[in-house]
Structures are given as C-alpha cells and as structure tokens.
Amino acid sequence: MKFRKVMALALAASMAVSLNAVSVLAEGGDTTDITLWTYPVGSWGDSAVVDQMISNFNEAHPEINVTVEYLDYTNGDDQINTAIEGGQAPDIVLEGPERLVANWGARGLMADLSDLWTDEAKEAIYDSVESACQNNDGVFYEYPLCMTAHTMAINKDIFEQAGALQYIDEETRTWTAEDFQKAVKAVYDFGQENVGAVYCSGQGGDQGTRALVNNLFGGTFTNPEHTEYTANSEENIKALELLSSMDGINFDASIAGGDEINLFCNGTLAMAFCWNVAQEKNNAENLSFDVLPMAFPAEDGKPQLCGGIWGFGVFDNGDEAKVEASKTFIDFMANDETQVVESVKASSYWPVKDLGNIYEGDDLMTEYSTFIQYMGDYYQVVGGWAEARTAWWNMLQQIGSGADVTEAVEEFVTTANAAAAK
C-alpha cells in the first residue's frame, strides 16, 4: 500500500508540474491542442501509463496539449468513422497499417508522414515494417513503434503424455507439415478428440487460420505487390483439403479466435492457432498447464509468420499547426532515446528497430522474441481487406460444411479480388 501511495503521489506531482507548465505557457504564448485516440495495444489502453508518457512529453514540449480517447476493438472503428463523418476526426491514432494505410490512408484522410521517415529512420527501421507503412505510391501514412509475430501454441503437458513432443523442434519452435500431422494423430489417438479448431464464426483471430493454411505447403495469401489475392494456389487448396480430412482438427463455425483461446486455456483444445505473447500474459492465471508457443508448421520447416505492426497515423483535419504538433508527439514517442523504450514496453511487444534487449531479465518476452525472425510478408494492406476478411471465414464455414474445397477457395478469391479492384 505504501508503494502504491508513493507512486500515486509521484504521478500526481508529475502531472501537476506538466499541467503547470502548460498553464504558464498558455499565459505567455500559444499552445496547440491535439487529440490522441488509441486502440488497446498493451498498456496504451491504460490511462495511468499513457498519462505518465504524456507527462514525459510535456516536459519537453509544454506548448502542446494532448487529450486522449481510449478505444476498443469492438466499437473503435465505429467511433472513428462516426467522428470522420461529423468532421471531428482525431489528430493522432495508434493502430496498424491495415487501418492507417489501407483504410483511412487509401481514402485520402491521412496526413503524409514522409518527413518523419528520414534517411536515418529508414536505415534503422526493419525493411518489412517500412514497406507496410506506405501505400503503393510510396506515401507514408504510418510511423511505426512496435511489432510482434503471431504464433500458435500447444499444451505441452498433453503433447508430452501423448508422446508427440518428438515431432517438434523445441529449440527453434518449428515443425514440418509431416510432423504436424504425426503430432495431431498422436494426441488424437491418446484420447484428445479436440486437438485443434479451425474457428470461423467471424473474422476475430483470422491471422491464425490464414497462417496455418499458408504455411503448411508454402502457399501465399496475396501477390508480392499486394494488389491481388492468391489464396487459390495449389498449395493452399492442398492445405485446406488436408485440414478438413484430419481427425482431431475440426472446422468450428460456432467460435472465433477469442473463443478458441478460451477453449485452449481451459484444456478443451490441445493447441491454439490464435496466439501471441499477449495471450499468454492475459491468461497466465487461468492456465493449469505449460504452454509451448510454436511457429506454424511448414513443409520445408521454414515458417512465415503473420505479424502485427502498430504505430501512429495523423488525420489531416485541415489544420497545419495540429498536424505539425502531432508529428512532434510521434517523433518524441518513437524516436526520443529514453522515451522510445518506455513507449515500446508499454505495448508489450518489440521495437521496430534495434534497441538492444529491452526485455533483459524477462523470461517470457525473451522466449517469444524467438519468433520475430520468422515474420513474413505483411500483406494486410491489400485493397478490399475488410471484404476479404469476411469472405475468408465464410469460405472456412463452407469447407467445414462439406463444400468442395477448390470451389470454395475460388469463390473466396473472386469475392476478394472484386473488392480489391474497387
């Protein structure tokens, strides 16, 4: 209690100093008011954490006043769309390229952040991240902060009891498509009828099912230019036919990614396809078994994981002063040598550039850092993305109901590419 009280007093004092600075400035000079709307990316959804970071910012920039709105993934998009329609869009949004670049950027609503992308920034930030933050014309609508690689996970206790651990490489956390099949069979024969679920009641967690299908035999979801959907490749059709035929792998139209996580955590399922480090942290108290995070199985043993990238975008609301103030805020949060480490840690993910081992001493974060090396193409910026996500789970439902796999996949690609062409 004493520690909490001291911390609370320290935070209050810090905020008071910051507010005082702004107040004094307001008396002697102009201030610029900007709004930050943030999705719940780790503790960026925690007002106490964000307030402290803004206090840090105001120590350096008392001339900029930041007001924060906290969004969730249930209603956040609707809130922003309503604000856009009402001419009240926020100045800054913290989210990923699929919204900042492929959605609002493509609609001409975002400010060009190219001046933040200096030669030094381009040299430091990973190439795969840089390419995801710009449109096909090279205009940057996002300045990135953090990233992760989405994984799958297995119930290590069940796999060990079933003799299935022999089929995985625990050191690299990889396995081949053949060994995946052997492992699922071993666990199923052990008596675990529900080994894994291809969940498809909606789009939640669809990065897991896409990664599972694309990795098994080396298929792709889009072309390299991110202009066309290519999920109808022979490799993907082969993967879907395999999954639909496997004992222990069930296509389940009653659950989405969040439901699958719950079923995995309570032991109903022996593996989860919708997983990353945040899931293990969030469910730590509910787990009664050892979780072994894994890369998705790949025929050649070389996985290409779907990744998440989060950063800042700026709505162009017609006020150049607000745009410039927003860029100043982004530059501080993502580039200040001291602050950037705290900004990234708040996300519970990893930096988009080499900052050294910022999680030294944290065994869990160190364990999951293994998967960053397997991060594949960030294709979530292709046109028609929202429509494609809906068509994907509809396709999985069809296959789970016994539809011809090739026909279902062709229908998906036709629908997705029609949306991309709009």
Q: Please report whether residue 376 resides in a domain.
A: no
Q: Is 274 in the same domain as 285?
A: yes
2 DSSP 8-state letter: H
Give the number of other CB atoms < 10 A from CB of residue 122: 11
Q: Is the pLDDT of residue 1 over 50?
A: no
Q: Is 261 in the same domain as 406?
A: yes
Q: What percentage of the chain has pLDDT greater than the value 70?
A: 93
> What is the reported pLDDT for 8?
40
Give the mean pLDDT of 225-249: 97
Q: Evaluate whether 183 touches 164 at the Cβ level (below 8 Å).
A: yes
Complete DSSP assignment for 282-316: HTGGG--S-EEEEPPP-TTS---B-EEEEEEEEB-
Rg of the Cα atoms in the chain: 23
> What is the reported pLDDT for 2?
34
Give the mean pLDDT of 211-237: 96
Q: Is the pLDDT of residue 27 over 80?
A: no
Phi/psi zone of residue 217: left (φ > 0), alpha (ψ -120 to 50 degrees), beta?
A: alpha
Mark out the alpha helices in 165-296 (DSSP H runs).
Answer: 177-189, 206-216, 234-245, 257-265, 277-282
> Range with the lowest mean pLDDT among 155-164, 185-194, 311-320, 369-378?
369-378
Q: Is 268 in the same domain as 332?
A: no
> What is the reported pLDDT for 21?
38
Q: Is 280 in the same domain as 340?
A: no
Residue range(s) defining the domain that contains residue 32: 2-148+308-369
Q: Is 21 in the same domain as 59?
A: yes
Q: Please report whether residue 377 resides in a domain.
A: no
Query: To which residue do tokens 């065994």 refer?
Result: 363
Give the mean pLDDT of 162-191: 98
> What is the reported pLDDT for 4?
33
Q: What percentage of the chain has pLDDT greater than the value 90?
A: 86
CATH code, domain carrying 170: 3.40.190.10
**How confident is residue 30, by pLDDT bands cut at 50, 70 and 90?**
confident
The pLDDT tens digits of the residues spanning 320-331 come to 999 999 999 999
Q: Is 406 in the same domain as 363?
A: no
User: How does strand 92-95 pair with strand 249-252?
Assistant: unpaired
Q: Is 121 in the same domain as 211?
A: no
The gap from C-alpha 79 to its chain's centroid, in whole angstroms, comes to 20
Q: Evaluate whether 148 touches 277 at the Cβ level (below 8 Å).
A: yes
Mean pLDDT of the chain: 92
> What is the reported pLDDT for 290?
97
User: How does strand 32-38 pair with strand 291-294?
Assistant: unpaired
Amino acid making up residue 353: K
CA atoms within 13 A on the CB side of 62: 17
Q: Please report whether residue 47 resides in a domain.
A: yes
Q: Please report whether residue 378 resides in a domain.
A: no
> What is the reported pLDDT for 422?
85
Number of domains in the chain: 2
> What is the reported pLDDT for 29?
65
**How confident is residue 20, by pLDDT bands cut at 50, 70 and 90?**
very low
> What is the reported pLDDT for 286?
85
Q: Please report whether residue 165 resides in a domain.
A: yes
Q: Is the pLDDT of residue 67 over 90?
A: yes
Q: Is 120 in the same domain as 99?
A: yes
Q: Evaluate whether 250 touches 198 at the Cβ level (below 8 Å).
A: yes
Q: Is 35 in the same domain as 127?
A: yes
Give the mean pLDDT of 53-81: 96
Q: Evaluate whether 276 touches 149 at the Cβ level (below 8 Å).
A: yes
Taking the C-alpha atoms of residue 15 and residue 22, their distance in angstroms, rounded to an integer, is: 11
Amino acid making up residue 260: E
CA atoms within 13 A on the CB side of 332: 17
**Helices H, strands E: what count in the chain?**
17, 11
What separation in angstroms does the CA of 10 have from each of 3, 6, 62, 286, 343?
10, 6, 19, 33, 19
Q: Which two tokens stand for residue 42?
A: 């780790």
> What is the reported pLDDT for 270?
98
| Nearest CA among 129, 127, 172 for reference residue 370 | 172
165 DSSP 8-state letter: G
Q: Please report whether residue 374 resides in a domain.
A: no
Phi/psi zone of residue 154: left (φ > 0), alpha (ψ -120 to 50 degrees), beta?
A: beta
Q: Is 57 in the same domain as 85?
A: yes
**How confident is residue 73, by pLDDT bands cut at 50, 70 and 90?**
confident
Give the mean pLDDT of 311-325: 97
Q: Evaluate whether 263 touches 198 at the Cβ level (below 8 Å).
A: no
Q: Evaluate whether 123 touches 283 at the Cβ level (below 8 Å).
A: no
The pLDDT tens digits of the residues spanning 196-206 come to 999 999 999 99
Q: Please report whether residue 375 resides in a domain.
A: no
Q: Is 185 in the same domain as 287?
A: yes
Q: Is 32 in the same domain as 137?
A: yes
